[in-house]
Amino acid sequence: MQHLHGKHIVLGLTGGVACYKSAQLCRLLTKAGATVQVIMTEAAAQFITPVTMQALSGRAVFTSQWDARPDNNMAHINLSRQADAIVIAPCSADFAAKLAQGRADELLSLLCLARPYGKPLLLAPAMNREMWAHPATQRNFAQAAQDGAQVLDVGQGEQACGETGDGRMLEPEELLQDIAASFVPKRLAGRSVLITAGPTFEALDPVRGITNHSSGKMGFAIAAAARAAGAAVTLVAGPVHQPTPRGVQRVNVQSAQDMLQAVQAHLAPADIFIATAAVADWRPAHYAMQKIKKDGSGDLPSLAFVENPDILATVAATERAKNGQLYCVGFAAESENLLANASAKRLRKGVPLLVGNIGPATFGQDDNSLLLIDGQGSHALPRASKISLGHALVAEIARRLPTEAAN
């Protein structure tokens, strides 16, 4: 959550049982390095106390427009100017109506109305499913969005009233991702990105198979960074245990052949293809329908292999890639001679950008170092978290994109 470090967030709470999630959100924001100023409406204080929010934020909570602590008695002006972003979580149906109509009869709505033009305002709706679906509610949130607010998604599931449906406030971890993403420059706005990640699994029999140590963390970090940068992202993932980044469409596959089919099925809308997956080079020539057992003789089973399809080379050879409408980025996981081997792979695959790393030094790790190789030479991204490197790589890709790739 590097984009939250040093940011000052005004966290506004309106009336709703989802206020209990706001306590955890406040804690997550401070752990990510942000400072948090909590503002609560009178209704919010019926669900959670200002004392709790003060303890979690480390700051006195504001609850009234008549608060005399500011020297100029203008809390709504001072607080809005100090904020890097204003987050209303939960945002009730009543508060959305206030925003849509420009009403300002208490501190939080005053602050939203007084915020400078362009100041980020994020709304996290939370209400009963029927209230959320009501045309007036949809109209009010749409108007708030038209007026410059960012309306976040709602969750689906069991609600405090006992009903089930849309309208739940997102979980604190999901809100944290959305808030962090709001600070990321939208370098890929309007673009569509297709990414492969993780290993493939090539089955020998119903029990065994060939795979590798790839955890998928780098590919998932790039997917999250591309989504935060404004792209529509599809992630084709091999067998890994990684949470799907917010807003990313995930397609799970097993083998290299499965991955190629999934890539081809989702390639048409893509402007950018990033092949981070550690795809097995070979697969067994024959699949045993039953487990291959040892018989005690000491004889080894006879295994033959065939070469798997080259997914990156296949995509790079398409007409859209050759005429510049599809920008292809490859990855090379090497064990030695990184520059030489990765440079040769870039030319062999026919891609404009190849990203190299030392596989044994990164598989399963939370950090990495990358070597970017293109037609002009090479450029190193020093060792850092994979999340940080994901954002750095997205920025590098955006800088290299031809302008016509957006079409």
Residues with catalytic function:
161
* Cα dihedral across residues 251, 256, 257, 261: positive or negative: positive
Alpha-carbon span 384 to 367, nearest angstrom:
5
Cα-flanking dihedrals φ and ψ of residue 201, to 5°? -125, 120
CA dihedral defined by 139, 145, 148, 153, rounded to 10 degrees? 150
Task: Give the distance from CA 106 to its chain's centroid.
Answer: 35
- The gap between the terminal CA atoms of the chain, to the nearest Å, is 31
CA atoms of 59 and 73, how far apart (whole Å): 18
DSSP assignment of 230-287: T-EEEEEE-S---PPPTT-EEEE--SHHHHHHHHHHH-TT-SEEEE--B--SEEESS-
Rounded Cα distance, 179 and 184, in Å? 10
The amino acid occupying position 305 is F
DSSP three-state, residue 299: coil
Residue in the block written with tokens 């089919």: 261
Q: What are phi and psi of 70, to 5 degrees?
A: -65, 140
Q: Are 237 and 216 in contact (CB under 8 A)?
A: yes
**Rounded-to-integer distance, Cα 174 and Cα 14, Å:** 19
Measure the CA–CA gap between 267 and 175, rounded to whole angstroms. Answer: 30
Q: Is the peptide bond before 90 cis (omega within 30 degrees of 0)?
A: yes
Cβ proximity of 248 and 232 under 8 Å: no
